[in-house]
Structures are given as structure tokens and as C-alpha cells.
Amino acid sequence: MVNGQILGSPEYAEEFENLCKNALGIFHLAGHAGVVDHEIYPWMPGSDYAATAHVLQSALKYSVPVVVISSAHALECINVYGQLKRSIEQLCRLYLNRGLQISVARLFNIFGEEQDEAITYRSVVTTSLIRQFLGQDQVSIKTADTLRDYVYVADVVAALQYLMFDGSQGVYEIGSGVLTNTQHLAGIISGLCDFTGLVDFNSTHEPDPYKRAALADWMPQHTSLPEGLDKTVASWRERHG
């Protein structure tokens, strides 16, 4: 995105190609259509697939390495959005075979400072808990036993930089390899928030572990969670009072 324009989308083809001519690399996040729109019209012009196809074609033309941001949905295609992510990964493999330097980063539950609480992805778990523990006397958690891999934002940035500049190619899962259930996560966050109220745990979901593919020479520096969560809570308090 440059000056508010999502240049990876086909309607900005000329501007994007001009940037590609002198680019050292491209981090491609997604198209500008929302998750719900993808469920209804997965192949629309502004979809992830259409935008990724345009990015890859331009990158191939100017020999620019690309890091494509995928999601954990590509591991278990439980809905249309997950199937679309899997299709994007297959598209990336096609361009890899055509000689483009490309890597796909599957991101899981990212957390960190200044994370927007309105974000609609799975990383909302940490911000939702912080908001509740800092603003309520009683907190109810309905997914206490759900297992997730939480990765601090600085570690994700380091992984993306590694993928871009180390010549890596292929599909990589950017995770710590440590699965944490929501009850344990809530215990850490409640302590950091000095919460003294009541917590009601209601376990209704099955755990969702996954298999992690190693990324050579990169490992998260905040796998124990408390350090990254401490910074996240401190940032929240600073911004929200």
C-alpha cells in the first residue's frame, strides 16, 4: 500500500509495475476484500487470489523476490476462505516453478503493542482478554481449552525479513511451536493487568493443534509469552488509560 492505495490490486496495475521496476522485494499481504466478501465472492477482482496473481505476474516480469502472507486457514481448509488460501499457495508454487523467488508465510496468532482491538482475525484473543481484564470486574471465557500458537509481532517481522533477504523459497509456518490454551493465556494476562475480579471458564471447543514446519535459522524470541504480553498490556494501558 502506498499513499492509501492498494497497489497490488489490478486497478492499480500501472502504479504497481512502476514500483516493481526498482523494487528490492515485495511483501504481499492480501487483497482489499473482507473475509465475509471472500466467502460469497471468492474470485472477485479485489480478492486475495486476484491480487496475488497480479503481484506475482508483475514480480516475475521484473525478477523481484516476493514474500506472500498466508494464514493458518491453509492448513485445515474448513471454509471457503481457507480453500482460497490453499489455492493461493498452489498459485505461488506455480510461479516458483517458473523461476520466481517466492516464499509463503503462514501466520498464526500474532500479538503485540498497538494491535487494533477491532481486528477480525484470530489474534483478537489477546486484545479481547486485555480489554476485559482492564475494564471489567468479572470475565467469562468460553474457549478455555482451545489451543493456539501465539507469536509476538517482532518475531513475525524478523521471520518475514529472513524470508525476503535470505533467499528462502517454499511454504513456511511462522509459529513458536508452543501451543497455549486460553485458560493459561488468561492467567498470564490477568496477572499483568492486576485483575482481582472473578473469571468464569467454560470449555466448549475442541483443541486445534497443528503441525509446524521449521524455518531454518529462525526461532521466535518470545516463546514463553509473558515478555511479549507484558509489552502489549503496557502499550494498551498507555493508549487507553
Closest-CA residue to 1 (of 33, 39, 27, 23):
27
Whether residue 155 is contained in a domain is answered as no
The percentage of residues in the chain with a pLDDT greater than 70, rounded to a whole number, is 73
Residue 186 confidence (pLDDT): 92
Whether residue 83 is contained in a domain is answered as yes
- Are 130 and 234 in the same domain? yes
- Are 2 and 76 in the same domain? yes
Q: Which domain holds residue 125?
A: 111-148+177-241
- Are 116 and 103 in the same domain? no
- Are 183 and 121 in the same domain? yes
Q: Which residues contact 209 (CB under 8 A, 6 or more apart)?
A: 147, 179
pLDDT at 76 over 80: no
Rounded to 10 degrees, what is the CA torsion of 43, 33, 26, 157? Answer: -130
- Are 75 and 142 in the same domain? no
- Are 92 and 1 in the same domain? yes
- Are 100 and 120 in the same domain? no
Last residue of a domain, one of 107, 136, 162: 107
More confident site: 80 or 45: 80
Whether residue 172 is contained in a domain is answered as no
191: confidence class by pLDDT, cuts 50, 70, 90: very high
- Are 87 and 132 in the same domain? no
Residue 213 confidence (pLDDT): 47
118: confidence class by pLDDT, cuts 50, 70, 90: low
What value does the mean pLDDT of the chain take? 78
Residue 194 confidence (pLDDT): 93
Whether residue 184 is contained in a domain is answered as yes
207: confidence class by pLDDT, cuts 50, 70, 90: very low
Whether residue 196 is contained in a domain is answered as yes
143: confidence class by pLDDT, cuts 50, 70, 90: confident
Residue 171 confidence (pLDDT): 86
More confident site: 168 or 34: 168
pTM for the structure as a whole: 0.75
Residue 215 confidence (pLDDT): 57
- Are 73 and 139 in the same domain? no
Whether residue 170 is contained in a domain is answered as no
Last residue of a domain, one of 82, 107, 132: 107
Whether residue 159 is contained in a domain is answered as no
More confident site: 148 or 143: 148
- Are 97 and 144 in the same domain? no
More confident site: 203 or 140: 140
Residue 86 C-alpha from the chain's centroid:
15
Residue 107 C-alpha from the chain's centroid:
4
- Are 116 and 30 in the same domain? no
Last residue of a domain, one of 45, 80, 107: 107
pLDDT at 2 over 70: no
Pull the grid cell for residue 176: 513458536
Residue 47 confidence (pLDDT): 75
CATH number (domain holding residue 137): 3.90.25.10
Whether residue 124 is contained in a domain is answered as yes
pLDDT at 116 over 90: no
Measured distance between the N- and C-terminal CA atoms of the chain, rounded to whole angstroms: 31
pLDDT at 8 over 60: no
- The mean pLDDT value for 101-116 works out to 84
Q: How many domains does the chain have?
A: 2
CATH number (domain holding residue 56): 3.40.50.720
- Are 131 and 225 in the same domain? yes
pLDDT in tens, 145-176: 888 889 998 998 898 888 888 878 888 888 88
